Structure 1
Amino acid sequence: MSRTLAVTLSAVALAALSQFAAAADQPVIGLITKTETNPFFVKMKEGATAAAKAQNVKLLTAAGKQDGDNAGQVTAIENMMAAGAKTILITPSDAKAIVPAIKKARDKGVMVIALDSPTDPLEAVDALFATDNYKAGALIGQYAKASLGGKPARIATLDLFPGHPVGAQRHNGFLKGFGLAANPATSNELSKPAEVVCMADSFGDQAKGQTAMENCLQKNPDINLVYTINEPAAAGAYKALKAAGKEKDVLIVSVDGGCQGVKDVAAGKIAATSQQYPLKMASMGVDAGVQYAKTGKKVAGYTDTGVTLIAGKVVPGVDSKDAQTGLNLCWGKK
């Protein structure tokens, strides 16, 4: 073998070893969302992917089959641990049932950060990056109260599903903001004052939201205010109301502030929505994972990632931003 060929082969070998060493030093971070289809979690994944690329991080992603799929999230945690993830970011589908799997991961030295949704108890994870969901509910409750202008409220709530902290916080926050008796942010029980004439679970899904609204209208055709857990459920509610010829007589308020949801605000389908920022949650999670990989320092506690009321019309006494501002900021887009 010639000296030139030997030098070339050595250079190739050194380059391969260098790439291997770089890969070995590359932090591995996992992101587990509730679903792959909900636009909120699609945006969260986009944020994590962009942050991981910018910081040379290997990002593993997984999701449940649908909201509430705890078994799928447990499997994802196990798979990510086996693949070497030292940080796992998760939006828990079941706040309590996921805790044992998270404990196993943390016992192995994995830092676990909840995004968007807390665990029960909160201390089951190292940290939580999320919207203040009680405040998000309170903002649209205040807006709805002012918008009705003293008219008696006949309220339908299209909630998430029983026992989920985010669903309870938004629901109870909405009622509190409206000026009705409501459980505090620490409660996972849904309040039901007399003004709430129908409560139904939507699972944050448009089709289920439409069915829930149809059922509520059968129970009480005089509903004039609808609270929804998120904008897909709001879209379903609007479709049901329009089919019944009631879309102009009923006020819909919601939470999320996604681009499509804000467009629905601009179109008058949703009166107001509380905008949150999943891209920010995800990028902060990746940053924390990189810090842990480099320094061994874990983040801790709750970080509020912000919320803004986006409304189609200004109402006196309620601070809000217009739909164009909401589109400029939807879910963290700059």
Structure 2
Amino acid sequence: MNRLLALSLCVSVLAFVGCKESGSGKRQIGVIPKGTTHEHWKGVEAGAKKAAAEMNVEIIWKGPLKEDDRAGQIQIVEQMVTDGVAGIVLAPLDDKALLRPVQQAAGKKIPVVIMDSPLAGELNKDFISLVATDNKKGGYLGGKRLAEVLGGKGKVVLLRYQENSASTAEREAGFMDAMKEAPGITLISSNQYAGATADSAQKKAESMLDVLRDADGIFCPNESSTQGMLNALERAGLAGESQKVKFVGFDKSVPLLKAMEEGKIQGLVAQNPEKMGYESVKVIVNKLDGKPVEPNVDTGVIVITKENLGSPEVKALIGR
């Protein structure tokens, strides 16, 4: 079959098989993050683009600016379906609200990989694979690190992220499991939500300063909540090795790693976003090529501390 005929056939059945090609003739894969400002998503993008270059496909990287724009993310998925991309990689902002547009993609025979955060759908019907951190394990490791630096005793605050975010809910659950294993620790606040940005997290933390001054330890489950809490602690004079409060957060960024080196953070639970983006695109391309795909791909999680910053594993992860 010559190329002109192949393209003609692709256009004629686009609504059914999603075989869109770019002007360069490459299959197009839509990659939709929860947001586009966090360092985590920049790492995911880099990994996705690396895989695309190796596998000769084109990435369409598009997501909402902020991680609370559910309607915006739904519209992006729907537009990708309408445009007839070959496949979609999605990090759902809401595990329920994004199910309908994902089902629309599946109805058009466009394979979907769910990345980073689970979706309340059915594997092999609504989506083909979940590529993500073991988030419950990550939260558990964060809790164990906080218990360690507290010597197994003290008063602790959990500042949650936002409702219906499945990945952070799993981290919070893992953290709570670790706290149950530390009978000398008392949880004094666990029902407050940071919201989608570092600014909203900082405002929430500043509204809790009386509780934070009473606390011995704090845990936050993602990059923006960790950064917002750090900002609030710094402004209130509660951050640093000379202060009693110990702080463990989630995700790595240049400012958070710097704060760790300065003794303001005692641990960061770190994902591998580059691997997440890379493996997600790899799964989609394998599916399009008729190859078997794994239903679940664990992209790994470790705890970074001031003491292990120089280890080969951590240096490879943070690019130093």
Structure 1 length as normaliser, TM-score? 0.80
- C-alpha displacement of 1:117: 0.6
1:1-334 → structure 2 map (5 Å cutoff): 25-121=25-121, 123=123, 124-152=126-154, 154-179=155-180, 195-219=187-211, 221-247=213-239, 248-295=243-290, 297=291, 299-313=293-307, 321-322=308-309, 325=312, 328-330=315-317, 333=319
- C-alpha displacement of 1:48: 1.1
Counterpart-to-counterpart distance in 2, 1:122 and 1:267: 45
Counterpart-to-counterpart distance in 2, 1:70 and 1:229: 20
- C-alpha displacement of 1:290: 2.1
Over the matched positions of the two proteins, sequence identity in percent amounts to 27
- C-alpha displacement of 1:239: 2.3
Q: Which has the larger radius of gyration?
A: 1
Q: How many matched pairs?
A: 298
Counterpart-to-counterpart distance in 1, 2:186 and 2:261: 31
User: Contact 2:28/2:58 (CA < 8 Å) preserved in 1?
Assistant: yes
Per-residue Cα deviation, 1:196-225 (whole angstroms, up to 9, x for no partner): 325321235221221121112134531121
CA RMSD of aligned residues (A): 2.8
Letter in 1 for 2:114: A
Letter in 1 for 2:112: V
Letter in 2 for 1:303: V
User: Contact 2:39/2:253 (CA < 8 Å) preserved in 1?
Assistant: yes
Letter in 1 for 2:127: V
The secondary structure found in structure 1 opposite 2:191 is strand
Stretches of structure 1 lacking an aligned partner (at least 5 in a row): 1-13, 182-192, 314-320
Structure 2 length as normaliser, TM-score? 0.83
- C-alpha displacement of 1:270: 1.3
- C-alpha displacement of 1:103: 0.4
Call closer, same or farther: CA 1:150–1:26 in 2, change over 3 Å: closer
User: Contact 1:225/1:250 (CA < 8 Å) preserved in 2?
Assistant: yes
Counterpart-to-counterpart distance in 2, 1:272 and 1:204: 22
Letter in 2 for 1:89: V
The secondary structure found in structure 1 opposite 2:213 is coil
Counterpart-to-counterpart distance in 1, 2:216 and 2:310: 23
Letter in 2 for 1:39: E
The secondary structure found in structure 2 opposite 1:200 is strand
2:17 is matched with which residue?
Answer: none
Counterpart-to-counterpart distance in 2, 1:65 and 1:71: 12
User: Contact 2:160/2:190 (CA < 8 Å) preserved in 1?
Assistant: no
Counterpart-to-counterpart distance in 1, 2:115 and 2:180: 29
Stretches of structure 2 lacking an aligned partner (at least 5 in a row): 8-20
> Which stretch of the first structure deviates more once superposed, 269-278 or 220-229?
220-229
User: Contact 1:131/1:307 (CA < 8 Å) preserved in 2?
Assistant: yes
Counterpart-to-counterpart distance in 1, 2:122 and 2:180: 28
